[in-house]
Structure 1
Amino acid sequence: MKKLLSMVWVCIMSLTALYANASSIVTGEDGYRLWLKYDPIQNQGILPEYKKWLVNWHVEGNSKTSQIIRDELDYAFNGLLQASNPTVLNSANLVVATAKTASQFLPEVNQQLSQLGDEGYVIRQMRYNNKPVVLVAANTDIGALYGTFALLRLVQTESDLSHINVATAPKTKVRVLNHWDNPDRHVERGFAGESIWDWHKLPDYKYQKYTDYARANASIGINGTVLNNVNADPIMLTPAYLEKVKALADLFRPYGLKVYLSIKFNSPATLGGLKNSDPLNPDVQVWWDKKVAEIYQLIPDFGGFLVKANSEGQPGPGDYGRTHAQGANMLADALKPHGGIVMWRAFVYANEKNEERSKQAYSEFKPLDGKFRENVMVQVKNGPIDFQPREPISPLFGATKQTPMMMEFQITMEYLGFSTHFVYLGPMYEEVLKTDTYAKGKGSTVGKVVAGEVYDYPITGMAGVSNIGSDRNWTGHIILQSNWYVFGRMAWDYNISAEQVAEEWTRMTLSNKPAVVKKVTEMMMLSHEATVNYMTPLGLHHIMGTGHHYGPGPWVDDLGRADWNPVYYHRAAKDGIGFDRSPSGVNAVEQYFSPLKEQLADPKTTPEKYLLWFHHLPWDYKVESSGRTLWNEIVHRYYLGVEQVAQINQSWDSLKGQIDPLQFKQVQMANTIHLKEAIWWRNACVLYFQTFSNQPIPEGLEKPKGTLEAYKAMQFPFAPGQGE
């Protein structure tokens, strides 16, 4: 009996421990709520004022969007303020309304709103009938939704609302996520699980995650989503799949989120049975007219098409001797009667043209300026190669006076450590958007070009290649949620600083404690530079492993064409390292405006961060900022990157007990991988480049562990996110 009782007691204690542990898991923050956590405000200094202004609220309107605003406010204030009281208009301290009602409170608001379009909004704190009132006003209910989320952001970050006076509208019209998701749920260059779109269960089964996806995008002003991969499967245009797309479009519409589709250019032949897909073939044009009409019959606000053509094996107008403009214009003509647009990617390169890869997009699209329809944007990657950790700007920005250049940033981490490296991309986006093109003299920044402020483009846009997947925390790494977030904030306003966004994201997602906010913001702002240092310092680029792009592979030299090989880009040899794109080399600098091209033509005036991008320099070249030789500087940068990652890890570890334990542990586990892989990058690259420099590791730095042969022998056959 005693033995039996003892066994029972052990079982009871084990179950107690299990349930205690399960309870902590269930109640912990696993990252699903993103930055929309709405946990109770702990700041007792500001809480009474918030309750005075916000608890009694009223939302005007009867649309689905108006109801969404009501639901969001009720959910948010019950969480943030522990109180929510929807009330009638005259009793409210918070009013969300469109212009007619808003003007009853504040007559001059109509003047402000007249400048803000369909998506802009005003947030004002004032007194009305001898009581404090916060007014959120817009011309449309979608604008009111954006304004509501902006107000909630201010509350979540514990901002002072006593003199709030905000009037803002998006700088770019089309702000979209590009999902590289396939119908089988594989995500090309995706590192956060499968695609969130379960095409097999659609159109009838709609996950809660679809709604929360729309909420999250609306909260940062993203107004479009391209549902499928640019390497498109034509099945997406079949009637069965269009019904599935319609189900998502109907769900997203009240959140201001339009759906777009990537299309296969040869669909008229593969789907329609035509002899070809020549854009000048009348039968092909009719096929597209009918297909577009079919789509709009199902989805009246369909956004349009994203097209990857004549690139990396994809079909396009070039197959028939036609130009990109002729291909894009055929689709634009079909879409125009319905209000749709074409986003035509400029990512094209072909070795048969015998032109250096970084120059090819400019050479292809600059001569076509003025030949595209007004509802076409050319979608350009931020740099001239391919989403590298750091690149100079694409010379196409500012080069086309009549053709809108749409920015394409990569949010997913294809070349940046997948989903285990702590890398906040805000500083990179900011660096690009604030770079001066000099297209119309000083001050013609990339941000202004994209926003149509340098040339008066009929349409403007910014796209981000999504890092979202089926993982509970959406992005595979909680910190990487910030890259989705900062993309939306900068697409709305390119002037916002990366540091401001990092701070507000931290407050909304992790903690409002000043010490935590300061430390996490510092980590985030350091992280991108650290990554560049341990991967591709001083302008090195495209030295990742073959195909999967996982880890270092600067030695790769056995692929089918020269510009697929890392050795093509770094040109390491006994005489030095770097790619000569100056006038003495391939003269890629000629594609930029003066004085930028003259600056980049001379290694003494080229910013050091781009030094080896534009110049092949001897190993004993003196680097001005440090006085070191080029070899010593490269090695020091690689070691500095590892030290910076270690610093980030130590800072994160110091926050134990100040951040939700599930959030803390997720990031801590990823940080362990991050540091190991930063060391791998450093050791492999330094050992490889040392075979050309024939110089010792600088004094004071430990010798890299392992052998170059061992690093070269590493293989990763199941690395995630590879193309299919």
Structure 2
Amino acid sequence: MNSARPLWIRAGLAASALLVGAATAPPARANDGYDLWLGPQGPTAAAAKVEVIGTSRTLAIAAEELRKGLPREATPVLLARAGEPALAPLKLATDQLGNEGYLVHSVTLSGQRLTIVTGNTDVAVLYGAFALLRHARAGGDTANLTLASTPRIPVRVLDHWDNLDGSVERGYAGQSLWDWWTLPDYKDPRYADYARANASIGINGVVLNNVNAKADSLSAAYIAKAAALADVFRPYGLRVYLSARFSAPMELGGLKTADPRNPAAAAWWQAKADEIYRAIPDFGGFLVKANSEGQPGPRDYGASHADGANMLAAALAPHGGVVMWRAFVYAETDPTDRASQAYAEFKPLDGKFSSNVIVQVKNGPIDFQPREPMHPLFGAMPATRLAAEFQVTKEYLGFATHLAYLGPLFAEALDTPTERRAGETMGSSLAAIAGVANVGRDRDWSGSTFNQANWYAFGRLAWDFTLDPRAIAREWTLQTFGLPPAATDKIVAMMMRSREAVVDYTGPFGLAHLFGSDHHYGPGPWIDDLKRPEWNPVYYHRADRNGIGFDRTARGSNTVAQYAPGLAARLARPETTPPELLLWFHHVPWTYPMPGGETLWQAMVRRYDHGVAEVDLLRREWASLKPQVDAERWTKTDAYLGIQQREARWWRDASLAYWMSINGLALPAGVRKPDHDLSWYKQQHFPFAPGGPR
């Protein structure tokens, strides 16, 4: 290109010249997983041709990503906001893209063939740049393409359950990524790498601290630390949120009450919001866990969840912030059914929340189990903005060591019809979506390579919940490993079967919450001595000599009545309930006839055995990939699959030993007996299991 280059190219030269890196290739090194699905960082010897119109840090990042990520021979790329005059001759259709949607399009401009990456904001252009890279790394044609997408859910956040002491509740990837002790003075380069990863999949918010919040998180010192992180995140379109402790006016402000109807408490929150926004002008808002598991809240004062949420919302409203108020509640007194309480408390409040309140509801009515039905609140609060909360970290799915790809779990929930309004699914009714993060200070970020896929899948489905989880697994695999088609197919097949295997060896047919106490590690279906009934696994399976399962029909807790009438009618009868949820909704005999002609007991044993066999197969398939995968990631994954093999057998054997002690039935002919008697399994203890609450 010469001095006669078109104006649109000359306009970008000043900014783009600053972004040209050294032309030397980085030294080769082992792959420890740090680069995630994004490919190696640093300068490349063969940078792609990328021009920019505009000088923002966000556009500079987008150009840098494309220069180092696209092949040198790729069609030249132009980055520009849709409103730039240089793009006017193209008459691009960008009106419907909103503030975050992007368009990547092959065009001819001023006689030259180009790929245009555009959107109505700089962040939209950044999202488009990552979409182009994703397309290219997954083997797509970059010479003639049109990629256009707008997020279906506006607020897409990761919730970090990180504590101020550096520990992470339910975290299995090391200590917290945030070094609160050295912030705000030292901004670890990993913070920018973290923001980069989130931007690449469309996540636009991060809650920095645990929902079991300390009031200190709202002190001036910690606001300054959060502001330092916000400065790093801002060019990547990532807004900062904070979990707020409801009693902070008392603990930080010295007030005698935190009653939301008290003017002094409301004034304290207003002043605190003003203070935060002076430090973080684009602060997203508060996440609140209230009146749940010992956390303070408005019900301590006889007020409602709406009273508490609306007080905080009034403080944030002048600044454009939101309150994400969690619906994860269950009573200190014994409820009839823990699965029904959130609906009972929140459904009557529909229409009473302020417009900048989002009620955040877990995907299922209990607690991030390997399989749960849809939470009955979805579709039941048409006058309230709702968020779906998923767990990306695997509290109940094998911690960091078990391979369990959660894309199918997320998609299964988001695609579930609420049946309250025609055509509506859980995903289509959401104002926000939140994922409890699986990120820590481990070099591979998530504790294992395959755990990275869950972070990736959450972000992709948060952007567009209609995406196919298998397609997401494929694009992640291609970007992460870069293997030939046959090897890619094998890894994708492994991922797609993995979550069902965990369901089979931990709790088939809708069994849930059978885990060891507190740490939620390993089997404990026999536990019955904890202080509150709903803390005990026996509360959930109700097994006796005659049968097993929780009766949630009109004969039992009648939780089925919380669902839309048509769905409730189907769930009220065992024969019309999906077999995968049979024991969630029904207490049935061990001899209950299952589809295919087996009794329930025979089918349960077969499912446990199937789960174990699937893990054995996963490890064999991974072994066959050893020549094609780098040694570091292959070896760690193989070791973890070995752990999963051992623990799947443990789950299977301990569970069957317990069920046989209850039902008095023998195993079907030819089935392997448990390796130990029940007393041996009951004696196993794990006081230092990772991720326990602090």
Would the aligned equivalents of 2:207 and 2:240 in 1 still touch at CA under 8 Å? yes
Q: How far apart are residue 511 of structure 1 and its match?
A: 2.1
**Residue aligned with 1:432, SS:** helix
| Residue 209 (structure 2) aligns with | 228
| Residue 322 (structure 1) aligns with | 303
CA distance in 1 between partners of 2:650 and 2:28 (Å): 36
Residue 263 in structure 1 maps to residue 230 in structure 2 = no
**Residue aligned with 1:69, SS:** helix
| Residue 575 (structure 2) aligns with | 604
Alignment of 1:91-170 (within 5 A): 93-101=76-84, 104=87, 107-109=90-92, 112-170=93-151
Amino acid corresponding to residue 434 of structure 1 in structure 2 = D
Would the aligned equivalents of 2:273 and 2:316 in 1 still touch at CA under 8 Å? yes
Alignment of 1:472-621 (within 5 A): 472-621=443-592
| Residue 686 (structure 1) aligns with | 656
**Residue aligned with 1:487, SS:** helix
CA distance in 1 between partners of 2:104 and 2:57 (Å): 22
Residue 310 in structure 1 maps to residue 312 in structure 2 = no
Q: How far apart are residue 107 of structure 1 and its match?
A: 3.0
**Residue aligned with 1:342, SS:** strand
Amino acid corresponding to residue 58 of structure 1 in structure 2 = E
**Residue aligned with 2:84, SS:** helix
Residue 465 in structure 1 maps to residue 436 in structure 2 = yes
Q: How far apart are residue 103 of structure 1 and its match?
A: 6.0
Deviations 1:130-189 (A, max 9, x none): 432111110000000000001011111110234311221101111000000000001001
- 277-286 or 158-167, which deviates more: 158-167
Q: How far apart are residue 334 of structure 1 and its match?
A: 0.2
Would the aligned equivalents of 2:334 and 2:532 in 1 still touch at CA under 8 Å? no
**Residue aligned with 2:37, SS:** coil
Amino acid corresponding to residue 518 of structure 2 in structure 1 = G
Alignment of 1:47-446 (within 5 A): 55-77=48-70, 81=71, 93-101=76-84, 104=87, 107-109=90-92, 112-352=93-333, 354-441=335-422, 443-446=423-426
CA distance in 2 between partners of 1:419 and 1:644 (Å): 18
Would the aligned equivalents of 2:483 and 2:628 in 1 still touch at CA under 8 Å? no
Amino acid corresponding to residue 82 of structure 2 in structure 1 = A
Amino acid corresponding to residue 356 of structure 1 in structure 2 = D
Amino acid corresponding to residue 206 of structure 1 in structure 2 = K
Residue 635 in structure 1 maps to residue 605 in structure 2 = yes
Would the aligned equivalents of 1:121 and 1:169 in 2 still touch at CA under 8 Å? yes
Would the aligned equivalents of 1:30 and 1:662 in 2 still touch at CA under 8 Å? yes
CA distance in 2 between partners of 1:26 and 1:279 (Å): 58
Residue 649 in structure 1 maps to residue 601 in structure 2 = no
Deviations 1:310-350 (A, max 9, x none): 00000000010000000000000000000100000000000
Aligned length: 666
Deviations 1:540-559 (A, max 9, x none): 00000000000000000000
**Residue aligned with 1:158, SS:** coil
Q: Give the TM-score of the pair, scaled to structure 1.
A: 0.90
% same residue: 52
Deviations 1:373-429 (A, max 9, x none): 000000000000000000000000000111011000000011111000000000111
**Residue aligned with 1:97, SS:** strand
Q: How far apart are residue 129 of structure 1 and its match?
A: 3.9
Residue 704 in structure 1 maps to residue 688 in structure 2 = no
Q: How far apart are residue 449 of structure 1 and its match?
A: 1.7
Q: How far apart are residue 692 of structure 1 and its match?
A: 1.7
Q: How far apart are residue 594 of structure 1 and its match?
A: 2.3
| Residue 12 (structure 2) aligns with | none
Amino acid corresponding to residue 682 of structure 2 in structure 1 = K
CA distance in 2 between partners of 1:237 and 1:588 (Å): 38
Would the aligned equivalents of 2:50 and 2:67 in 1 still touch at CA under 8 Å? no
CA distance in 1 between partners of 2:548 and 2:380 (Å): 30
Deviations 1:225-262 (A, max 9, x none): 00000000111111111111110001100100000000
Are residues 106 and 544 of structure 1, via their aligned partners in 2, closer, same or farther at CA, if it must alter by over 3 Å? farther
**Residue aligned with 1:305, SS:** strand
Would the aligned equivalents of 2:363 and 2:389 in 1 still touch at CA under 8 Å? yes
Deviations 1:669-703 (A, max 9, x none): 11000110000000000110011221111122211
| Residue 30 (structure 2) aligns with | 28
**Residue aligned with 2:435, SS:** strand
Amino acid corresponding to residue 563 of structure 1 in structure 2 = E
Residue 662 in structure 1 maps to residue 632 in structure 2 = yes
Would the aligned equivalents of 2:48 and 2:72 in 1 still touch at CA under 8 Å? no
Amino acid corresponding to residue 703 of structure 1 in structure 2 = K
CA distance in 1 between partners of 2:561 and 2:327 (Å): 19
Amino acid corresponding to residue 477 of structure 1 in structure 2 = S
Are residues 83 and 540 of structure 1, via their aligned partners in 2, closer, same or farther at CA, if it must alter by over 3 Å? same
**Residue aligned with 2:576, SS:** coil
Would the aligned equivalents of 1:195 and 1:470 in 2 still touch at CA under 8 Å? yes
Q: Which runs of 5+ in 2 are unaligned?
A: 1-26
- 404-413 or 697-706, which deviates more: 697-706
Q: Give the TM-score of the pair, scaled to structure 2.
A: 0.94
Q: How far apart are residue 126 of structure 1 and its match?
A: 2.4
**Residue aligned with 1:100, SS:** coil
CA distance in 2 between partners of 1:631 and 1:392 (Å): 22
Q: How far apart are residue 127 of structure 1 and its match?
A: 2.7
- 712-721 or 163-172, which deviates more: 163-172
Q: How far apart are residue 66 of structure 1 and its match?
A: 1.4
**Residue aligned with 1:352, SS:** coil
Are residues 363 and 106 of structure 1, via their aligned partners in 2, closer, same or farther at CA, if it must alter by over 3 Å? farther
Amino acid corresponding to residue 652 of structure 2 in structure 1 = R
Would the aligned equivalents of 1:258 and 1:303 in 2 still touch at CA under 8 Å? yes
CA distance in 1 between partners of 2:591 and 2:627 (Å): 49
Would the aligned equivalents of 1:59 and 1:69 in 2 still touch at CA under 8 Å? no
CA distance in 1 between partners of 2:76 and 2:473 (Å): 31
CA distance in 2 between partners of 1:71 and 1:488 (Å): 22
Are residues 237 and 351 of structure 1, via their aligned partners in 2, closer, same or farther at CA, if it must alter by over 3 Å? closer
Q: Which runs of 5+ in 1 are unaligned?
A: 1-24, 41-50, 85-91, 451-459
